[in-house]
Amino acid sequence: MPRDRRGQAASVTQMSIQLYDSLERRTRLFEPRDPGRVAMYCCGPTVYNYIHIGNARTFVWFDQIRRYFEYRGFDVVFVMNYTDVDDKIIDRAKIEKLKPEEVAQKYAMAFEKDMGALGFRPADKTPRAVEHIPAMVDAIQGLIDRGLAYVADGNVWFAVEKFPDYGKLSGRTLDDMRAGERIEPHPSKAHPLDFGLWKAAKEDEPSWESPWGPGRPGWHIECSVMSEQYLGQAFDLHGGGSDLIFPHHENEIAQAEGLTGSAPFARHWLHAGMVQMESEKMSKSLGNVVLASEVVERYPAEVVRYWMLQSSYRNQSVFSGETLDDAKASYERWWTFFTAALHALGDRAPSGPQVRRESEDDETWPGYVRRFVEAMDDDFNSAEAFAVIHDLVREANKRIEDAQRGDEQARADLAELTTVFLELTGVFGFDFARAGADEELTRRVEDLLQQRERAREQRDFTTADEIRDTLTEMGVVIDDTPSGPRWHLGSP
């Protein structure tokens, strides 16, 4: 039986996962190339600027998809590239009076910092385009040899009319594309939609030697080459934002399948929805972007991650103060429950997600793990999965006061429910156990609460208020209940 990363036996067959495949335009069974393994690729950032919150949501979601496959027992290899040679990088270098490679390094480091703050686990491999130029030159020569590309004035163009399946991902004909998309103009192209595989060198721009003269690769060939180099042909899953369907992913398919003469380039295609500011898609070209770093300065990173993951990866997500405030309130319900549970359980509090798998017919509490898995197996239905966790929290909250009074059955029930809570929230990258594990802080808070209670009993309200102020400065929120004070930390 497959096992997850913690060595726990998975109870539900891996082969029940259903994905919406952008290429086939339907939800279908996930069928990996190699049983028990997932080879997945996500198009990474072009490192010429800071990432906005829409970019960040896409990357967080593909990290989440990787995490869920691991939870279900798969051995995952996740590859995400850096595009570090591109017109945008060259233009930014001129503005900032830096070398293109310095710009790429600067914004790659910024990307890693911003994404790390949002709980993004680095990909297993992060290839950079400039490290793979020889392989790209070989692939371009192969396309020329197969009659799918041609050389003109030191440039190499892919001939879209020579690839019969061109348009199968976007579902559009060449005429549709020509009418509806921006076209890269160039006098040496045979067809307006032909796209660049190799760009002839220009003065003061980075270049590499090739059989067609000095130049640099086009954007599309970079991902085709790097994904297959690390994952092989017909790898399991290729993804990115929905704005990459055309032309980037369409062109990747044409290059990869044109070169090998066989399909598929990737077995499944997943695309994340865009983030909207009110009625407009967020994009740098529209000038309406909000940087990921700016959002994390205004809201705790866990709240931002909650907002990103609370609805389907395929949905258009609306960014606003209201939607972030709603996410904050929902996340804090989880945090309030967990800190109250720790207080009620004392030495019986779970130290981490000690996974207790439920069988498919197990109705304990009632089958929260089963319901969670069923939701996530349905094309990563996070909205339903989050609803399951909220149901669990409501059930567990009913037992907190009884557990505080010393009811052993309530404490046992609460301990089990809290363990399941840690397991399910951990799948989404929330580490409540780590955040709540500061025993010294807990002891300090408990001591201050006892001092406050004594002061109140003695009607020394000045001292009681001073202690409450001290607790507030520590980030502690106190709820005075009929059974005594309950406390929790504000959002970490």
Domain boundary among 281, 299, 319: 319
Whether 478 maps to a domain, the answer reads: yes
Q: Which residues of 236-264 are buried (b: 16+ CB within 10 A; e: fewer)?
A: bbbbbbbbbbbbbbbbbbbbbbbbeeeeb
* pLDDT < 50 stretches in the chain: 1-11, 355-362, 491-492
| Amino acid at position 185, single letter | P
Same structural domain, 61 and 43? yes
Reading the block at residue 188, the tokens are 């040496």
Q: Which residue is associated with the tokens 């972030």?
A: 324
Give the Cα separation of 405 and 427 in Å (integer).
32
At residue 208, the 3 state secondary structure works out as strand
CATH number of the domain residue 401 falls in? 1.20.120.640
Same structural domain, 374 and 469? no
Same structural domain, 315 and 326? no
Whether 1 maps to a domain, the answer reads: no
- pLDDT of the residue at 182: 57
- pLDDT of the residue at 482: 66
Give the Cα separation of 212 and 306 in Å (integer).
50
Whether 6 maps to a domain, the answer reads: no
Contacts of 12 (CB under 8 A, 6+ apart): 72, 360, 370, 373, 377
Domain boundary among 287, 319, 351: 319
Domain boundary among 261, 286, 319: 319
Same structural domain, 468 and 345? no
Quick check: 164 and 18 in contact, CB under 8 A?
no
Angle of helix 382-397 versus helix 321-345 axis, rounded to 10: 40
Whether 204 maps to a domain, the answer reads: yes
Same structural domain, 60 and 70? yes
Give the Cα separation of 243 and 271 in Å (integer).
8
What is the gyration radius of the CA atoms in the chain, in angstroms?
A: 27
* 275-277/280-281 β-pairing: antiparallel
CATH number of the domain residue 298 falls in? 3.40.50.620
Quick check: 454 and 447 in contact, CB under 8 A?
no
Which range marks the domain in which residue 454 is found? 438-492
- pLDDT of the residue at 178: 72
Same structural domain, 412 and 483? no
Same structural domain, 345 and 282? no
Nearest to 376 by CA among 95, 10, 2: 10
Same structural domain, 238 and 337? no
CA distances from 238 to 20, 23, 120, 266, 279 (A): 12, 11, 18, 6, 28
Same structural domain, 23 and 152? yes
Domain count, the chain: 3
- Write out the H or E segment, with its range, that includes residue 448: helix 439-457
Q: Taking CA 190 as the corner, what is the angle to CA 185 and CA 196, rounded to the nearest 5 degrees?
A: 55
Same structural domain, 273 and 359? no
Residue 466 buriedness (CB in 10 A; 0-12 / 13-18 / 19+): middle
- pLDDT of the residue at 282: 58
Give the Cα separation of 320 and 318 in Å (integer).
6
- pLDDT of the residue at 291: 95
Whether 286 maps to a domain, the answer reads: yes
State how far Cα 341 lies from the chain centre.
29
Same structural domain, 189 and 325? no
Whether 4 maps to a domain, the answer reads: no
Same structural domain, 373 and 241? no
- pLDDT of the residue at 404: 86
Quick check: 341 and 419 in contact, CB under 8 A?
no
Reading the block at residue 400, the tokens are 């907190």
Quick check: 202 and 214 in contact, CB under 8 A?
no
Give the Cα separation of 274 and 284 in Å (integer).
13
Whether 343 maps to a domain, the answer reads: yes
Whether 2 maps to a domain, the answer reads: no
Quick check: 65 and 113 in contact, CB under 8 A?
no
Nearest to 485 by CA among 463, 458, 460, 457: 457
Give the Cα separation of 453 and 142 in Å (integer).
79
